[in-house]
Chains A and B, each alone.
Chain A
């Protein structure tokens, strides 16, 4: 077997360089190829396939975030005004800047490790990571989603010296399940993707014994060709185990599954367009039990102090895991030692393979024997595959032959910087009145049964959301086998971590996503999703100053307009996060989500997922989102704007270009802090989001099968019931505390509306200006709400 090929780039023309990149699925630009050419000119030799592949993986958009860290100048036009924004490194000056500026004392490790880590108790911290696995899920929904969840779990196991995963989150965007038109060859129907993805997450998450507790599903035909699959994982780690150290002369040990040809080029493929000629070998194959087995062993070894660094084999496989861990010292890797699934892999294939369920650990030589014994006791495969050096070189061998030698300085810091000069005109929609003539009852039924509002019970119940016994706010709450109310955030009480030092604390997890808004205004979309993620956490009783954010940008084709939108979204995210005082602790971007349809590029709507994670001081103060007792009063807190822009109703009725409601952050902060401070008055809380106030009320009625009489005094009943303004929350207040609560609201100048009083009869009765406007049976609404989304 020929161990490597050299690729002639020293004498290659620009055209040939582009051709080399294209032929090898390397996704390297001409500018990058030229820098590589220059490097090898200085070395007076051509690169091996292994070297070129290593550089391509390390410099891939997936690993390096070149677009987000670019140097950018944007001319922003707003009406007649023009602003210029300049960045040397967008990510550093927006998202990272917000975190730095907020300077939250609980942030222990942000944007440096595989996950963001924040303080939980004095002894333990919470680690969180959210990833995307979009391209693989489009090609092979089951395998793509399963390995997505498997990958993000390994990020948690591989952060610090290893965290124990305690919860998963999953957010999906699909095309319309009822899509009737013909799809191009190779594109799966949304229902097939939906079923495959849900099964993939179910089979992997359930087998790992990690509860899937939070999520969201967006149905929108913008995702017909490029579905989005976000997978998140939350873990718990001792605070004294969050730092890795790597020194020369330690062993590099590979733990877990064997290596095969699956998933080669996963990292570079994720930066390319989807089309119907891609090989499916770019998608990996998942095996959750192998992962569960090494998880058990690694946590034991961590507590015994047997290793000093760990990371997972994700995109780029061993090349990325070994390279990343040893970039400050250097390493020698012996590929013939890597256990293989089958014979015949070339060295570069072993080096690049993204076979799943593998971790790379660095350990002192004298502790290695004990570590290997521990693994063998639990039938976990572990192999010494190399050692760290002080050469500042990444050297890779196969049976004594060197197949790769790269300076770590060049590999990790040599990638040329992107630079863009852009301009963008901000959306400037005027408020316009719409006349909706359909009867109110029909509108309610349409909205409540629309796929974005309807219950996701069919999906939720397939996930074991209670394993580990800590899910104290479940995705659906209610009595056994009766009606359920959906909840704003999941709350995890880590009961199975026995030596926890504070037995009152819990973790809240929620998210915000609204891609349809970015069709109107990407700035509004960004503001909305951050606010939504935060207010979902506020609803369960988390304090505003204990909320941390994760950003996941999924963008389409990177043309100039979309790039400008991306940077604008980053800038907005920075401003909103700073105002709320909620730092970003981790993030990821997935760009190039577009499909080549007869040479036309079809992009997804710009989508930002915000995941909010909060620390709750006392589990006995948490709030759920369903009404508790008849006679209690229901208040709407927050500044309500009567505008149907971006609402589910406007989508159902296909009314376009309406101005979405404004977010007033100062008022929002006042409302959230008020809810935090007067938590003891509140019996239940639920935010106004998809489907508007009428949906919020209905969902709150379900679990205890209660009714409500709503008395309003408005001309704009339709706008009131269906607008989706940010930062509005409905709360239930005991009857005897109603007056006191109102006085407090007035005193603190919180905008509010008294909606009405709860009734034992399960009827939603809406009276406006003394006239009966609508009477709906809660059970009937529940039936509509639960029957539209199934596989």
Chain B
């Protein structure tokens, strides 16, 4: 079975093409659609295994990153999405702006359609584009816990600071919803800038829901699928971004 993915874009989405390339490189069938195609029912969400909301500046991100896109989905696609989310064989991935959308839609860390946490302006007050080390939580319920202990990926965002109330944070930790935390090269989680580039609480870079089917992260796995994309010359055997998509594919194929 070839797993299928639908990549959803709106005006301002801009990481869609490379996300398609990354998904294809591990063997996904892909369909890149504008949200209006879903609204007009030209395409049915349920026919796909994986929904991906890629990076970008949806609708300009002028109000708060991902907010307008989330509202658009909430009011126009809620029923379809709810059905999709409740199906145990379906997966959702939000990268960067996509993560912001999932959070503002209330799909992470719990599927509630009520926003529980937020991603807000970086502590530096600036957009930051740089590579970071990420510590992988081996106890996270998602298939991504099978990634190596420490991975490297690039980030590029102005609003990536993960913020939650104490109680929510506690639940996130207890349920092992954290999948990625910013760390140093030895895997020691760190809140020092620029190791943690945005000031995220608990140095969170990515989370999943309790089932591990809904994944959101600020770093860009689609930007590291060939060795030449690595920022320093080294013979990288298996780029982390490629491993990332491969694992999701295998999970859908029930190899894991």
Chain A residues with a Cβ under 8 A of chain B: 202, 206-209, 287-290, 292-293, 296, 377-379, 460-472, 474, 476-482, 493, 495-496, 498, 619-620, 624, 628, 703-704
Q: Could you say which residues of chain A place their CB within 8 Å of the CB of B205?
A: none
What's the Cα separation between A313 and B128 when bound, in Å? Answer: 32
Chain A residues with CB below 8 A from B61, complex form: 207
Chain A residue with minimal CB distance to B234?
Answer: A479
| B113 CB–A CB distance under 8 Å | no
Q: How far is the CA of A463 from the CA of B194 in the complex (A)?
A: 16
Q: Which residues of A contact B129 (CB under 8 A)?
A: 460-466
Question: Which residue of B21, B152, B185 contacts A469 across the interface (Cβ within 8 Å)?
Answer: B21
- Residues on the A chain within 8 Å of B132, using CB: 480-481
| 18 other A-B residue contacts (CB within 8 Å) besides A293-B11, A466-B223, A476-B231 | A207-B14, A209-B13, A209-B15, A209-B57, A289-B57, A377-B36, A379-B36, A460-B129, A461-B129, A462-B127, A464-B127, A468-B15, A468-B17, A469-B18, A469-B225, A481-B130, A481-B133, A624-B233
Q: Given A464-B129, A479-B232, does the pair A292, B195 have CB atoms closer than 8 Å?
A: no
Interface class of chain A by DSSP? loop
Q: A378-B34, A461-B128, A703-B232 are in contact. Are A468 and B18 (CB under 8 A)?
A: yes
Complex CA gap A467/B36 in Å reads 24
Interface residues of B in 4-41 (CB under 8 A from A): 9, 11-15, 17-18, 20-22, 24, 34, 36-37, 40
Pick from A292, A460, A470, A493: contact of B14, CB below 8 A. A292
Q: Does B60 contact A (CB under 8 A)?
A: yes
| Distance from A618 Cβ to chain B, minimum over Cβ atoms (Å) | 11
A residues in contact with B12, CB < 8 Å: 207, 289, 292-293
Question: B160 interface residue, CB < 8 Å from A?
Answer: no
A478 touches B231 (CB 8 A): yes
How many residue pairs, one in A and one in B, have C-beta atoms under 8 Å apart?
126
Closest A residue to B14 by beta carbon equals A209
Find residues 172-186 in chain B having any chain A CB closer than 8 Å to their own CB: 184-185
Q: Are A472 and B133 in contact (CB under 8 A)?
A: no
**Are the CB atoms of B152 and A480 closer together than 8 Å?**
yes
Contact string against A for B residues 116-156, beta-carbon threshold 8 Å, 1 for contact and 0 otherwise: 00000000001111111100000000000000000010101
The answer to whether B213 has its CB under 8 Å from any CB of chain A is no
The chain A residue sitting closest to B55, CB to CB, is A467
In the complex, which residues of chain B have a beta carbon less than 8 angstroms from the beta carbon of A289?
11-12, 57, 59-60
Asked whether any CB of chain A lies closer than 8 Å to the CB of B238, the reply is no
Q: Tell me, yes or no, whether B222 is within 8 Å of chain A by CB.
A: yes
Asked if A477 and B232 make an inter-chain contact with CB atoms under 8 angstroms apart, the answer reads: yes
Q: How far is A202 from B9 in the complex, measured between Cα atoms in Å? A: 22
Residue with the greatest number of chain A CB neighbours at <10 A, chosen from B132, B184, B223: B223
Given the known inter-chain contacts A464-B127, A477-B231, please indicate yes or no for A209 contacting B56, CB distance below 8 A.
yes
CB distance from A199 to the nearest CB of B (A): 9
Interchain CA distance A202-B21 in the complex, whole Å: 25
Q: In the docked arrangement, what's the CA distance between A290 and B24, Å? A: 29
Q: Say yes or no: A496 contacts B130, CB within 8 Å.
A: no
Contact A292 B228 (CB under 8 A): no
Instruction: Give, as a whole number of angstroms, the nearest-CB distance from A674 to chain B.
Output: 22
Q: How large is the interface on B (under 10, 10 to 19, 20 to 34, 35 or more residues)?
A: 35 or more
The answer to whether B231 and A480 touch across the interface, beta carbons within 8 angstroms, is yes
Determine the chain A residues whose CB is within 8 A of the CB of B85 once the complex forms: none
Chain B: residues with CB nearer than 8 A to chain A? 9, 11-15, 17-18, 20-22, 24, 34, 36-37, 40, 55-57, 59-61, 126-133, 152, 154, 156, 184-185, 194-195, 220, 222-223, 225-226, 228-229, 231-233
CA separation between A619 and B127, bound complex, in Å? 29
Closest to B153 in A: A480
23 A-B residue pairs with CB within 8 Å? A209-B14, A209-B57, A289-B59, A293-B11, A296-B9, A377-B37, A378-B11, A378-B34, A461-B127, A461-B129, A462-B127, A464-B129, A466-B154, A467-B55, A468-B18, A470-B18, A476-B231, A479-B185, A480-B131, A482-B185, A495-B21, A498-B20, A498-B24
How far is it, in angstroms, between the C-alpha of A624 and the C-alpha of B55 when the chains are bound?
A: 28
For the complex, what is the distance from the CA of A290 to the CA of B59, rounded to whole Å? Answer: 9
Closest to A465 in B: B129
- Identify which of A288, A479, A496, A704 contacts B18 (C-beta below 8 A): A496
Q: Cβ of B223: which chain A residues have Cβ within 8 Å of it?
A: 466, 469
Specify which chain A residues have a CB less than 8 angstroms from the CB of B36 in the assembled complex. 377-379
Q: How far is the CA of A130 from the CA of B225 in the complex (A)?
A: 31
CB proximity of A527 to chain B, nearest CB, Å: 33
Given contacts A481-B195, A496-B18, contact A207 B60 (CB under 8 A): yes
A480 and B197 alpha carbons, distance in the complex (Å): 11
Quick check: B14 and A481 within 8 Å, CB to CB? no
A463 cross-chain contacts in B, Cβ below 8 A: 127, 129
Contacts of A462 in B (CB 8 A): 126-129
Given known contacts A202-B127, A377-B37, is B233 in contact with A628 (CB within 8 Å)? yes
Chain A residues whose CB sits within 8 angstroms of the CB of B13 once the complex forms:
209
CB pair B11–A496 under 8 Å, yes or no, is no
Nearest-Cβ distance from residue A518 to partner chain B, whole angstroms: 34
CA–CA, A628 and B24, complex, Å: 33
Instruction: Decide: A481 and B57 in contact? CB cutoff 8 A.
Output: no
B128 cross-chain contacts in A, Cβ below 8 A: 461-462
Closest B residue to A206 by beta carbon equals B127
Is A495 within 8 A of B226, CB to CB?
Answer: yes
Residues of B contacting A288 in the complex (Cβ-Cβ under 8 angstroms)? 57, 60
Closest residue of A by beta carbon distance from B126: A462
Closest B residue, CB atoms, query A379: B11
Q: Most chain-A CB neighbours within 10 Å: which of B17, B61, B184?
A: B17
Measured CB to CB, the nearest residue on chain A to B127 is A462
In the bound assembly, the distance between CA atoms of A495 and B55 in angstroms comes to 17
Are B18 and A495 neighbours in the complex by a CB distance under 8 Å?
Answer: yes
Q: Are A472 and B127 in contact (CB under 8 A)?
A: no
Is A292 a contact of B11 with CB atoms below 8 Å? yes
Q: A493 contacts which chain B residues (CB < 8 A)?
A: 228
Contacts of B194 in A (CB 8 A): 481
Is there an interface contact between B195 and A467, defined as CB atoms closer than 8 Å? no
A469 to B15, CA, bound (A): 8
* Pick from A377, A466, A479: contact of B220, CB under 8 Å: A466
Q: Which A residue's beta carbon lies closest to that of B37? A: A377
- Contact A481:B18 (CB < 8 A) given known A209-B56, A289-B60, A469-B223: no
CB <8 Å contact, A469 and B228: no
Which of A202, A290, A462, A466 has most B Cβ within 10 Å?
Answer: A466
Write the nearest CB–CB distance from A632 to chain B, whole angstroms.
13
List of A residues within 8 angstroms of B40 by Cβ? 377
Contacts of B126 in A (CB 8 A): 461-462
Report whether A469 and B222 are in contact in the complex, using a CB–CB cutoff of 8 Å. yes
Residues of A within 8 A of B220 (CB): 466, 469
- In whole angstroms, how far apart are the Cα atoms of A289 and B57 in the complex? 8
| A202 contacts across to B, CB distance below 8 A | 127
Given contacts A461-B129, A478-B231, contact A466 B156 (CB under 8 A): yes
CA distance A300 to B215 in the complex (A): 31
CA distance A296 to B34 in the complex (A): 10
- CB-CB under 8 A from B18, the residues of chain A are 467-470, 495-496
Provide the residues of chain A in CB contact with B184, threshold 8 Å: 481
Chain B residue, CB-CB nearest to A477: B231
**Within the complex, what minimum Cβ distance (angstroms) separates B123 from chain A?**
14
B60: shortest Cβ distance to chain A, in Å?
A: 4
* Contact residues in A for B56 (Cβ distance below 8 Å): 209
Cβ B21 vs Cβ A496 within 8 A: yes
Question: CA A461 – CA B20 in complex, angstroms?
Answer: 25
CB neighbours of B231 from chain A (8 A) = 474, 476-480
Closest to A472 in B: B228
Complex Cα distance A479/B60, Å? 31
B60: A residues at CB distance < 8 A: 207, 287-289
Sorted nearest first, the 7 A-B pairs with minimum C-beta distance are A209-B14, A469-B18, A496-B17, A480-B131, A293-B11, A289-B60, A464-B156
Q: How far is the CB of A750 from chain B (nearest CB, A)?
A: 25
